Amino acid sequence: MSERIYLYPLWIRLWHWTNAILCLFLIISGVSLQYSNPEFPIIRFDIAVSIHNIGGILLTLSYLVFFIGNLTTPNGKYYKIKMKGLFESLKKQFIYYTVGIFQHAEKPYPITRERKFNPLQKVSYLVAMYFFLPLMFITGWALLFPEINLRNVFGFSGLQLTSLLHVMMGFFVSVFLMVHIYFCTIGTTALSNFKSMIDGWH
Amino acid sequence: MIFKMKTYSKDILLLITGFLLLIASVFAADEKEVPQNIILNQKCFKCHGAKFYTFFNESQGKNVKERMNPYFVIDSATFYASNHKSFICTDCHSPEYKNFPHDGNLRMEAKFICMDCHGGDDTFAKFNFEGIESEFQKSVHSSRHDESFTCWMCHNPHSYKISARNTTNLSQTIAYDNAICLNCHADIDNYQMLTEKENPNILTTHDWLPNQKLHFSNVRCIECHAQNNDSILVAHLILPKEKAVKKCVQCHQSNSILLASLYKYQSKERRNQAGFFNAAILNESYIIGANRNLYLNIISLVIFGFVILGIAIHTVIRIIKK
């Protein structure tokens, strides 16, 4: 077994699991609100509204911890992308996931202390954390205070368009979460990556 | 010389006056003719259109200025913008009101009610006044009050104008219709004309409602407090408060009750199952759970399906190639 690396400091682990639990609550309550049906209620509408509001506020605070943490600790460096050779490295990693992994090939970008994410992870985490989530927070807070929305945007309700964007971001984050959880099973064992996020050691 | 100048200035003055009169007559001909009812009503509005009125008191032999009873003041601008704008006052009020001072006994005369004119008349068939009356009679406004609770309690004949049917601004229609309810339910004087009860504070009785201000400005009271009926446009069967809609999902779902109430007219006009968004609601408003986009729903399901399928295939191959 290769040398173990302490890759996930305590604050990252606490943030990660807080984030994960809040995201689950928000996705379930969000789906319940979007597809509310009196005959098959996932969660009673008013309860779902409260869960979603409280969950959204807490997730914003949790995101601020992540954002400030990445600015003030070495963890931020893992999200920096070099455009030179990016496409090639993405292609290499994609081929590994679709072909190489089944042939037990060497990982093209194994985890080291300097490289926590492979290129595909880096790009997808960057998009999720610095594009999807901020847009989700902006639209979510706008929906929490509906009166601040533009009443009419090119003939459509401003609130409607804000909601549409919010739901779309929610959808992308849900897809990200599914793929993220699945890829976490691609470790030394199916559970090793989950354990890493508990004790911090990879 | 002086005499001549005077003659010239007289001629010039006459010429200018004639010219001005000519211009005035041209413009006067362009103006719309004032409707006869406005001319006839002017006599009534002279006193009933203002807070004060002046009359010659024969006993005292002088003009007297008096306050007009505020409940008898009719705003002429509002009246001429209302549904009854083409009426002469004496169409509904006794012709004897033309005399002043008015005979005291005139107050004892029974007043017309809506159905006296609107009932059984094909001209108004599309409004289904009979249906409205029948629904009203089943409502708490009728069953819990005596016959003195007439249509006029909500629909002031001097100011009422239909708004839901031809609205171009839904917010204005909502505010207008809610003001009708609040005229009694937020005004102790009007409320106690009908009951000795204390008027409950609407903000307190609705404190359970999330985003109260938004709800009050975006839906009408009758959305929750009246039972819909497809044969009339605006529900008139006001329910007892215990039967009011209190479950969020009755509005917040794709089959929202608002489609049969607030958006009824629009949904008849524009309802389209596959329309972009829930066409009847969407362009003007946003209701969580009710505003859905059929195409986006399908696309999202397809993407979710592919993601799950991809993960499943990947998992199976991983297991086989282990």
Residue A1 covered by a domain: no
| Alpha carbon of B302: minimum distance to chain A alpha carbons (Å) | 12
How buried is residue B131: exposed, middle or buried, by Cβ count under 10 Å (0-12/13-18/19+)?
A: middle
Residue environment code for B77-105, b if the CB has 16+ CB neighbours within 10 A, otherwise e: eebbebebeebbbeeebbeeeeeeeeeee
What residues of chain A lie within 8 A of the CB of B311, using their CB?
A: 178-179, 182
Q: What distances in angstroms separate CA B104 from CA B47, B70, B107, B109, B299, one per listed residue? A: 17, 18, 6, 10, 74
Query: Is the confidence at residue B268, as pLDDT, over 60?
Result: no
What residues of chain A lie within 8 A of the CB of B254, using their CB?
A: 37
Query: Is the confidence at residue B8, as pLDDT, over 50?
Result: yes
Residue B262 covered by a domain: no
Beta-carbon contacts of A38 under 8 Å, excluding residues fewer than 6 positions away, are B247, B249, B250, B253
- In this structure, the answer to whether residues B199 and B126 fall within a common structural domain is yes
Query: Is the confidence at residue B151, as pLDDT, over 60?
Result: yes
Tally the domains of chain B: 4
In this complex, do B307 and A37 lie within 8 Å of one another by their Cβ atoms? no
User: What is the rounded distance in angstroms from the CA atom of residue B199 to the CA atom of residue B203?
Assistant: 12
Q: What distances in angstroms separate CA B221 from CA A62, A163, B75, B169, B244, one per listed residue? A: 40, 25, 26, 17, 10
Q: Which amino acid makes up residue B113?
A: I
What residues of chain A lie within 8 A of the CB of B284, using their CB?
A: 157
Residue B271 covered by a domain: no
- In angstroms, how far is CA A105 from the centroid of its own chain? 28
Q: What is the mean pLDDT of residues A98-105?
A: 93
pLDDT (0 to 100) of residue B26: 59
* Spatial contact of B136 and B128, defined as CB atoms under 8 Å apart: no
- In this structure, the answer to whether residues B26 and B127 fall within a common structural domain is no
pLDDT (0 to 100) of residue A64: 97
Q: What is the mean pLDDT of residues A53-69?
A: 97
Residue environment code for A22-55, b if the CB has 16+ CB neighbours within 10 A, otherwise e: bbebbbbbbbbbbebeeeeeebebbebbebbbeb
In this complex, do A179 and B248 lie within 8 Å of one another by their Cβ atoms? no
Closest-CA residue of chain B to A162: B286
Query: Is the confidence at residue A157, as pLDDT, over 50?
Result: yes
Q: What is the mean pLDDT of residues B124-148?
A: 90
What residues of chain A lie within 8 A of the CB of B294, using their CB?
A: none
How buried is residue B147: exposed, middle or buried, by Cβ count under 10 Å (0-12/13-18/19+)?
A: exposed
User: What is the rounded distance in angstroms from the CA atom of residue B265 to the CA atom of residue B257?
Assistant: 13
- In this structure, the answer to whether residues B186 and B302 fall within a common structural domain is no
Closest-CA residue of chain A to B305: A175
What residues of chain A lie within 8 A of the CB of B282, using their CB?
A: 156-157, 160
Q: Between A37, A102, A160, which is nearest B317 by CB?
A: A102
Q: What is the mean pLDDT of residues A106-125?
A: 91
Residue B196 covered by a domain: yes
Query: Is the confidence at residue A149, as pLDDT, over 50?
Result: yes
For residue B231, how many other CB atoms are within 10 A of its CB?
A: 10
- In this structure, the answer to whether residues B198 and B302 fall within a common structural domain is no
Q: What is the mean pLDDT of residues A194-199?
A: 92
Closest-CA residue of chain A to B304: A175
pLDDT (0 to 100) of residue B25: 61
Flag whether the ipTM exceeds 0.90. Answer: no
Q: What is the mean pLDDT of residues B282-300?
A: 76
Chain B interface test: which of A45, A124, A150, A152 (most B C-beta within 10 Å): A45
pLDDT (0 to 100) of residue B276: 45
Residue A80 covered by a domain: yes
Tally the domains of chain A: 1
Rounded to the nearest integer, the mean pLDDT of chain A is 91
Residue A44 covered by a domain: yes
pLDDT (0 to 100) of residue B277: 47
Residues of B at the A interface, defined by Cβ within 8 angstroms: 210-211, 213-214, 247-250, 252-254, 277, 282-286, 288-289, 291-293, 296, 300, 303-304, 307-308, 311, 314-315, 317-318, 321
Measured N-to-C along each axis, helices A45-72 and A10-34 cross at an angle, to the nearest 10 degrees, of 150
- In this structure, the answer to whether residues B189 and B224 fall within a common structural domain is yes
Query: Is the confidence at residue A170, as pLDDT, over 90?
Result: yes
pLDDT digits (tens, 9 = 90+) for A177-187: 999 999 999 98
How would residue B314 be classed by pLDDT, with cut points 50, 70 and 90? very high
The least confident of A25-29, B75-79, B116-120, B155-159 is B116-120
Query: Is the confidence at residue A43, as pLDDT, over 90?
Result: yes
In this complex, do A49 and B248 lie within 8 Å of one another by their Cβ atoms? yes
* Spatial contact of B87 and B160, defined as CB atoms under 8 Å apart: no
User: What is the rounded distance in angstroms from the CA atom of residue B278 to the CA atom of residue B301?
Assistant: 18
User: What is the rounded distance in angstroms from the CA atom of residue B150 to the CA atom of residue B189?
Assistant: 17
User: What is the rounded distance in angstroms from the CA atom of residue A25 to the CA atom of residue A55?
Assistant: 7
Instruction: Give B264 or A193, the one with higher predicted confidence.
Output: A193
What residues of chain B lie within 8 A of the CB of A46, using their CB?
A: 210, 248
pLDDT (0 to 100) of residue B271: 47
Q: Which long-range contacts (CB under 8 A, 24 or more apart) does B75-83 make?
A: B75/B49, B75/B158, B75/B159, B76/B41, B76/B45, B76/B49, B78/B158, B78/B159, B79/B158, B79/B159, B80/B38, B81/B161, B82/B157, B82/B158, B82/B159, B82/B160, B82/B161, B83/B160, B83/B161, B83/B162
Q: Between A49, A160, A182, which is nearest B311 by CB?
A: A182
How would residue B6 be classed by pLDDT, with cut points 50, 70 and 90? low
How would residue A11 be classed by pLDDT, with cut points 50, 70 and 90? very high
pLDDT (0 to 100) of residue B194: 84
User: What is the rounded distance in angstroms from the CA atom of residue B41 to the CA atom of residue A145?
Assistant: 50
> Strand, coil or helix: what is A29?
helix
In this complex, do B210 and A49 lie within 8 Å of one another by their Cβ atoms? yes
pLDDT digits (tens, 9 = 90+) for A13-37: 999 999 999 999 999 999 999 888 8
pLDDT (0 to 100) of residue B257: 83
pLDDT (0 to 100) of residue A70: 95
Residue environment code for B175-189, b if the CB has 16+ CB neighbours within 10 A, otherwise e: ebbbebbeebbeeee
Residue B44 lies in domain: 35-109
Sign of CA dihedral A114, A116, A122, A127: negative
Supply angle C-alpha B154, B160, B162, rounded to 5.
105
pLDDT digits (tens, 9 = 90+) for B197-246: 888 899 999 999 988 988 998 899 999 999 998 888 889 999 999 999 99
A178 at interface of B, judged by CB pairs closer than 8 A: yes
Query: Is the confidence at residue B281, as pLDDT, over 90?
Result: no
Residue A4 covered by a domain: no
How would residue B269 be classed by pLDDT, with cut points 50, 70 and 90? low
| Alpha carbon of A41: minimum distance to chain B alpha carbons (Å) | 9
What residues of chain A lie within 8 A of the CB of B300, using their CB?
A: 171
Query: Is the confidence at residue B34, as pLDDT, over 70?
Result: yes
In this complex, do B308 and A178 lie within 8 Å of one another by their Cβ atoms? yes
In this complex, do A49 and B253 lie within 8 Å of one another by their Cβ atoms? no
A154 at interface of B, judged by CB pairs closer than 8 A: no
- In this structure, the answer to whether residues B141 and B186 fall within a common structural domain is yes
- In this structure, the answer to whether residues B121 and B158 fall within a common structural domain is yes
- In this structure, the answer to whether residues B143 and B201 fall within a common structural domain is yes
Residue A89 lies in domain: 10-199
Rounded to the nearest integer, the mean pLDDT of chain B is 84
Closest-CA residue of chain A to B312: A182
In this complex, do B288 and A33 lie within 8 Å of one another by their Cβ atoms? yes
**% of chain B at pLDDT higher than 90:** 45
pLDDT (0 to 100) of residue A113: 84
Residue A179 covered by a domain: yes
Residue B280 covered by a domain: no
Q: Between B210, B253, B308, which is nearest A38 by CB?
A: B253
- In this structure, the answer to whether residues B119 and B233 fall within a common structural domain is yes
Chain B interface test: which of A143, A182, A183, A185 (most B C-beta within 10 Å): A182
H-helix or E-strand spanning residue B64: strand B62-67
- In this structure, the answer to whether residues B123 and B194 fall within a common structural domain is yes
Structure tokens at B320: 């086989």
How would residue B84 be classed by pLDDT, with cut points 50, 70 and 90? very high
Whose tokens are 């954390």? That residue is: A129
- In this structure, the answer to whether residues B16 and B134 fall within a common structural domain is no
- In angstroms, how far is CA B210 from the centroid of its own chain? 26
Residue A3 covered by a domain: no
What residues of chain B lie within 8 A of the CB of A47, using their CB?
A: none
pLDDT (0 to 100) of residue B286: 74
pLDDT (0 to 100) of residue B110: 86
Peptide bond into B240 cis (omega under 30): no
Q: What distances in angstroms separate CA B23 from CA A39, B9, B16, one per listed residue? A: 74, 21, 11
Residue among A33, A144, A158 at smallest CA distance from B284: A158
CATH code where residue A108 lies: 1.20.950.20
Residue B287 covered by a domain: no
Per 3-state DSSP, what percentage of chain A is helix, strand, and coil (rounded to 5)?
A: 70, 5, 30
User: What is the rounded distance in angstroms from the CA atom of residue A162 to the CA atom of residue A156?
Assistant: 11
Query: Is the confidence at residue A132, as pLDDT, over 90?
Result: yes
Q: What is the mean pLDDT of residues B297-314?
A: 94
How would residue A150 be classed by pLDDT, with cut points 50, 70 and 90? confident
pLDDT (0 to 100) of residue A154: 73
Domain boundary among B87, B109, B131: B109
* Spatial contact of B35 and B86, defined as CB atoms under 8 Å apart: yes
What residues of chain B lie within 8 A of the CB of A171, using their CB?
A: 300, 303
What residues of chain B lie within 8 A of the CB of A102, using their CB?
A: 317-318, 321
Query: Is the confidence at residue B124, as pLDDT, over 80?
Result: yes
Structure tokens at A29: 């309550």
Q: What is the mean pLDDT of residues B306-312?
A: 96
Residue B265 covered by a domain: no
